[in-house]
């Protein structure tokens, strides 16, 4: 296996940890993946240049000898980057080595490597993000990259009753007559909240990475996350460390279920607050539903270590969306742990069944409160959550009830952009495609032709993503007039679909599309920045995070490697940094490496989860 430029990687990591990377390297006029490129795979770089004619390029080796040459392809004006760009394709050169350089006239790239599997460290670091964001457990120095990343347990235990006072609009919530211990789980993002909706897609993605590898016999991925490979306390229990990490969140999700026999006053239907700011609350049998979130009454200051959080914490009212997230992930977990831990599996299945029944009984309870101290994750369309939950339960049980629900859904077997009613791109408010992925991948009772349709719709969606890449100057499989909050995860979720299309068809084009997505994440973008800490020549340094906050306070640590920034955001620019950029930046350039820029540089579990999935997928032997 060829080494991937270890000197540059070590330098970048050291500088990132000391906060000096900004002085390490100027912006390169030639942008490409800062970890390097694959010897056997696609090799593309991008140059911003006003020339309307192709330009000659050369590739030189470590000795300065020219080993390949060609002409740039003029893409022209690129709306989302705001640049006039040329693309450089040197895929035909396949000799591995370090310290190659591309040059176009006076423009020259920084040294880069051409090699083999290059994402082993990234997939491990990206998974390590979740351990370091655990609640209710000390983060131990023996499991982290630097001593300053260790910290005492936060919220241990994490017990709370229901919110029982007036919210921001004056709506009074009655609370409940019980307290739940919802310890464990991951802090969702830069704050200390824990959310069932966002936890759902995050844990599903990690579990799917395992299930896909198990079903398709991808032994390298299973081995990479096997017991003993992870830097976690459970790394000697005989269970995959990827599953151990996912279970930490699953335990929290299970604990968020409303006990049996409980009636709560909840908002039913797509209400808008009245003139007095109030909602209509209806007493409902909430047994089996899931609370939307667990979080602080007020936002904690930045920075604040989890153990120093003194805010009162509450359970916020149950919602149908949270309940269906619980049903889906608990059913998925029941399937995966069936032989690993039969007792845990049975508990998960019982929770999943009760949650699904509760959602059917209360199908329109939305997240409508106005609470400070935690994000809302409101979602007014639950068609996709119902389909996803039914798909997971059907794959696990084969029961006729869930099959009937699947077949009645307009999303049945649909992909993000193909099928009877396309599901839309994968994201926390759009989870329909997760159900189709499960039906296409996990053994289930559908007819072979139907499983084939599910796969075909995912492949057709991947074709759409490849077509989008042809319209983008930076050749990423993502086309949008405006970049949303968490755009990096939008790109990586598309890369997951491309990866599955490659699995199902064996066609190299889909893998190449996934490579294009990761190339953009790791530096082939108009900012010439890697959006992942500790990986690349110019990595993100200053996330919006309550603990990894050295930029805000030198007593706090810089982030560990493997943390993904939310990335460019041109559509929701409300933080103190972004508001001054509004209307002044092309969509791909609306990003600042600043802890105050929470709309652009926050981190989140649902962003790092697809980074784990895609990095692991790309690191598999493929050629």
Distance CA 259, CA 301 (A): 33
Distance CA 191, CA 546 (A): 6
β-bridge mates for residue 85, sequence order: 48, 76
Q: Measured between alpha carbons, how far apart are the two ends of the chain, in Å?
A: 13
- Residue 48 near residue 543 (C-beta atoms within 8 A): no
CA 360-362-365 angle, to 5 degrees, is: 130
Active-site annotation holder among 593, 594, 619, 620: 593
> Is the preceding omega at residue 536 within 30 degrees of 0, hence cis?
no
Distance CA 543, CA 191 (A): 12
Q: Among 299, 249, 304, 139, which residue's Cα sits nearest to residue 606?
A: 249
Q: Among 278, 306, 286, which residue's Cα sits nearest to residue 556?
A: 306
Strands 107-108 and 194-195: unpaired
Q: Among 323, 329, 123, which residue's Cα sits nearest to residue 246?
A: 329
Active-site annotation holder among 528, 544, 594, 619: 544
Active-site annotation holder among 384, 425, 602, 619: 602
Distance CA 432, CA 423 (A): 5
β-bridge mates for residue 69, sequence order: 58
Integer angstrom CA distances of residue 442 from 190, 200, 211, 493? 34, 18, 8, 19
- Residue 379 near residue 359 (C-beta atoms within 8 A): no
Q: Among 407, 410, 414, which residue's Cα sits nearest to residue 447?
A: 407
Active-site annotation holder among 49, 125, 191, 384: 191
- Residue 330 near residue 349 (C-beta atoms within 8 A): yes
SS3 call for 294: strand
DSSP secondary structure code for residue 259 in this structure: P
Distance CA 586, CA 590 (A): 6
Distance CA 605, CA 130 (A): 7
Distance CA 567, CA 45 (A): 20
Strands 112-115 and 37-38: parallel
User: What is the number of other CB atoms lying within 10 angstroms of the CB of residue 323?
Assistant: 35
β-bridge mates for residue 243, sequence order: none
DSSP string, 298-361: SPPPSS--GGG--S-EEEEEEEHHHHHHHHHHHHHHHHHTTTT-HHHHHHHHHHHHHHHHHHHH
Active site residue 544: yes
DSSP secondary structure code for residue 139 in this structure: B
- Residue 380 near residue 368 (C-beta atoms within 8 A): no
Backbone phi and psi for residue 102, each to the nearest 5 degrees, phi listed first = -95, 145
SS3 call for 523: coil
β-bridge mates for residue 47, sequence order: 30, 86
Q: Which two tokens stand for residue 217?
A: 């016999």
- Residue 261 near residue 178 (C-beta atoms within 8 A): no
Annotated active-site positions, please?
191, 544, 593, 602
């Amino acid at each position: 296996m060829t080494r991937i430029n270890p000197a540059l990687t070590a330098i970048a990591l050291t500088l990132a940890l000391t906060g000096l990377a900004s002085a390490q390297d100027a912006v390169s006029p030639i942008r490409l993946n800062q970890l390097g490129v694959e010897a056997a795979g696609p090799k593309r770089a991008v140059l911003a240049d006003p020339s309307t004619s192709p330009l000659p390029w050369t590739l030189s080796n470590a000795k300065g000898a020219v080993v390949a040459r060609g002409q740039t392809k003029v893409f022209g004006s690129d709306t989302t980057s705001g640049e006039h760009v040329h693309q450089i394709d040197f895929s035909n050169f396949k000799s591995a080595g370090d310290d190659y350089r591309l040059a176009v006239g006076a423009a020259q790239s920084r040294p880069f490597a051409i090699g083999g599997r290059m994402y082993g460290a990234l997939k491990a670091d990206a998974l390590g993000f979740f351990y370091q964001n655990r609640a209710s457990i000390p983060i131990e120095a023996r499991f982290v990259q630097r001593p300053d990343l260790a910290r005492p347990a936060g919220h241990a235990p994490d017990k709370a009753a229901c919110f029982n006072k007036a919210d921001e609009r004056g709506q009074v919530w009655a609370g409940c007559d019980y307290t739940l211990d919802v310890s464990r789980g991951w802090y969702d993002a830069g704050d200390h909240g824990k959310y069932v909706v966002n936890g759902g897609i995050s844990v599903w993605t990690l579990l799917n990475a395992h299930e896909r590898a198990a079903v398709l016999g991808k032994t390298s991925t299973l081995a990479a996350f096997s017991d003993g490979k992870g830097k976690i306390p459970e790394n000697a229990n005989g269970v995959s460390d990827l599953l151990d990490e996912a279970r930490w969140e699953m335990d929290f999700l299970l604990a968020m279920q409303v006990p049996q026999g409980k009636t709560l006053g909840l908002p039913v239907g797509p209400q808008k607050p009245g003139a007095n700011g109030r909602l209509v609350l209806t007493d409902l049998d909430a047994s089996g539903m899931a609370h939307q979130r667990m979080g602080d009454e007020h936002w904690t200051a930045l920075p604040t270590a989890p153990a120093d959080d003194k805010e009162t914490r509450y359970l916020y009212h149950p919602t149908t969306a949270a309940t269906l997230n619980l049903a889906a992930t608990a059913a998925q977990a029941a399937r995966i742990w069936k032989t690993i831990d039969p007792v845990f599996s049975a508990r998960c299945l019982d929770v999943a069944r009760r949650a699904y029944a509760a959602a059917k009984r209360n199908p329109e309870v939305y997240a409508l409160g106005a609470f400070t101290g935690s994000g809302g994750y409101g979602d007014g369309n639950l068609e996709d959550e119902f389909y996803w939950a039914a798909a997971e339960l059907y794959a696990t049980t084969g029961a006729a009830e869930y099959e009937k629900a699947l077949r009645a859904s307009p999303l049945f077997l649909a992909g993000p952009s193909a099928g009877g009613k396309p599901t839309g791109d994968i994201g926390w408010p759009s989870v329909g495609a997760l159900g189709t992925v499960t039906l296409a991948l996990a053994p289930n009772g559908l007819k072979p032709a139907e499983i084939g349709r599910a796969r075909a719709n995912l492949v057709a969606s991947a074709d759409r993503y490849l077509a989008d890449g042809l319209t983008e100057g930076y050749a990423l499989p993502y086309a949008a007039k405006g970049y949303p909050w968490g755009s990096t995860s939008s790109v990586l979720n598309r890369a997951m679909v491309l990866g599955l299309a490659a699995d199902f068809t064996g066609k190299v084009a889909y893998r190449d599309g996934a490579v294009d997505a990761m190339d953009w994440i790791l530096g082939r973008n108009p900012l010439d920045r890697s959006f992942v800490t500790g990986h690349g020549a110019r990595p993100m340094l200053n996330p919006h995070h309550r603990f990894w906050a050295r930029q805000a306070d030198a007593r706090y640590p810089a982030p560990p490697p493997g943390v993904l920034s939310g990335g460019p955001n041109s559509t929701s620019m409300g933080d103190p940094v972004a508001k001054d950029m509004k209307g002044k930046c092309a969509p791909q350039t609306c990003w600042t490496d600043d802890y105050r820029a929470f709309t652009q540089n926050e981190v989140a579990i649902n962003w790092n989860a697809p980074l784990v999935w895609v990095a692991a997928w790309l690191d598999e032997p493929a050629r």
